[in-house]
């Protein structure tokens, strides 16, 4: 397996300290804090480790404090309820004795029922698009050093944007974009694993959609961005080592916060998951 992908699986495999207590390590992706997707994935892995015979169908999470990449994160799971068809878990992530994150997650036994979905947007196939890293290489020369580290960091996912960001000359655009993505190598089977990995990757670039109407990118100084909350709903089975289309939009930005939504479609058009996120988008005014 690809080295980066194997390392991600290691990061998402937590040490079980006690029956409801888990510990995870972090990876530095060049940002000043732990990547939010890592904490989402690890918290979901912790919750999943306390449930049998049911798959996660939704979670709602809040980012409370910045995580430190140099310290382990402890995940405490509260087994809130196990009903006939649903199980609910609450997860708290702790560093230095303080909560940095919390999540509520719901799991369901497999059931049949009514079925409908929105259609996937019509976009070029991933084979017709350039990889994100090729767009990054075009921008890397004028990016400041701290941001260059984030942009150039190798990822265990291949991404092919339908509307690539123009980092050098951003324009005011409608807040809608799509990107194809998949893991860089074949993964083991297991719905729980693929949903955990989808939670991890869902945090990539979602909030950036809220910047598009303002001719601003994450590299535009002086801008501070940080995730506040993140919610996700899993609708159908998924494999993250097959191409998935992440279609996002941003209905609103106000009060130094941006709001974005996402729909994840499989290559065959099935809607496999939906996301929503609000985040800090604070423009620092010159004194």
How many domains are there within the chain? Answer: 1
Task: Return the axis-axis angle of helices 132-139 and 145-152, rounded to nearest 10°.
Answer: 160
Residue 38 counted as domain residue: yes
Residues with catalytic annotation? Answer: 203, 227, 277
Query: pLDDT class for 221, splitting at 50, 70, 90?
Result: low
For 83, residues 6+ apart whose C-beta sits below 8 A from its C-beta are none
pLDDT in tens, 176-209: 999 999 999 999 999 999 999 999 999 998 999 9
Neighbouring residues of 205: CB distance < 8 A, sequence distance ≥ 6: 179, 248
Contact indicator for 277, 207 with CB cutoff of 8 Å: yes
Residue 115 in any domain: the answer is no
Q: How confident is the model at residue 138 (pLDDT cuts 50, 70, 90)?
A: low
If you ran DSSP here, which 8-state letter would residue 43 be given?
Answer: H
Is 80 exceeded by the pLDDT of residue 13? yes
Classify residue 12: in a domain, yes or no.
yes
The CA distance from 189 to 156, in Å, is: 17
200-219: pLDDT as tens digits: 999 998 999 999 999 988 77
What's the pLDDT score for residue 147? 62
Whole-prediction pTM value?
A: 0.94
As given in the structure block, the two tokens for residue 80 are: 């809130």
- How does the average pLDDT of the chain come out, rounded? 93
Task: Calculate mean pLDDT across residues 99-126.
Answer: 97
In a domain, 9, yes or no: yes
Contact 86, 79 (CB under 8 A): no
pLDDT of residue 159: 94
* Domain region containing 242: 3-110+120-283
Whether the CB-CB separation of 237 and 191 falls below 8 Å is answered with: yes
In this predicted structure, the answer to whether residue 63 has a pLDDT above a threshold of 90 is yes
Cis peptide before 222 (omega within 30 of 0): yes
The residues, ordered by sequence, that sit 6+ positions from 184 with a Cβ below 8 Å of its Cβ are: 2, 4, 5, 155, 156, 157, 158
Mean predicted confidence (pLDDT) in 79-95: 98
Give the containing element (helix H, strand E) for 33: none
pLDDT of 119 above 80: yes
User: E strands, 96-196, where?
Assistant: 98-108, 157-161, 176-183
Q: What is the CATH number of the domain that holds 24?
A: 2.40.160.210
**How large is the angle between the packed helices 191-201 and 36-48, nearest 10 degrees?**
160
Task: Render pLDDT for 16-47 as a digit per residue (tens, 0 to 9).
Answer: 999 999 999 999 877 778 999 999 999 999 99
Q: What pLDDT is recorded for position 232? A: 98
Residue 151 domain-assigned (yes or no): yes
Residue 140: pLDDT over 80:
no
The residue behind tokens 């159908």 is: 236
């Amino acid at each position: 397996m690809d080295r980066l992908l194997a390392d991600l699986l290691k990061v998402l495999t937590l040490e079980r300290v006690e029956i409801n207590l888990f510990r995870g390590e972090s990876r530095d992706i060049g940002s000043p804090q732990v990547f939010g997707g890592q904490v989402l994935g690890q918290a979901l892995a912790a919750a999943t480790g306390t449930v049998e015979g049911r798959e996660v169908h939704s979670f709602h999470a809040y980012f409370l404090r910045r995580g430190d990449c140099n310290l382990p994160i402890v995940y405490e799971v509260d087994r809130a309820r196990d009903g006939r068809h649903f199980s609910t878990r609450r997860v708290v992530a702790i560093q230095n004795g303080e909560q940095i994150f919390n999540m509520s997650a719901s799991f369901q036994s497999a059931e049949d029922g009514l079925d409908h979905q929105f259609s996937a947007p019509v976009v070029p196939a991933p084979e017709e698009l350039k990889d994100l890293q090729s767009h990054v290489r075009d921008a890397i020369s004028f990016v400041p050093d701290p941001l260059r580290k984030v942009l150039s960091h190798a990822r265990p996912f291949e991404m092919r944007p339908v509307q690539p960001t123009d980092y050098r000359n951003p324009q005011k655009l409608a807040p809608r974009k799509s990107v194809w993505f998949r893991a860089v190598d074949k993964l083991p089977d297991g719905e729980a694993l693929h949903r955990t990995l989808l939670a991890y990757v869902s945090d990539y670039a979602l909030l950036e959609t809220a910047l598009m109407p303002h001719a601003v990118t994450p590299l535009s100084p002086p801008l501070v961005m940080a995730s506040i909350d993140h919610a996700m709903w899993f609708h159908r089975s998924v494999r993250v080592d097959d191409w998935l289309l992440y279609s996002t939009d941003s209905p609103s930005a106000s009060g130094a916060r941006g709001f974005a939504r996402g729909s994840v479609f499989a290559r065959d058009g099935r809607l496999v998951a939906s996301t929503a996120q609000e985040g800090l988008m604070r423009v620092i005014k010159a004194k």
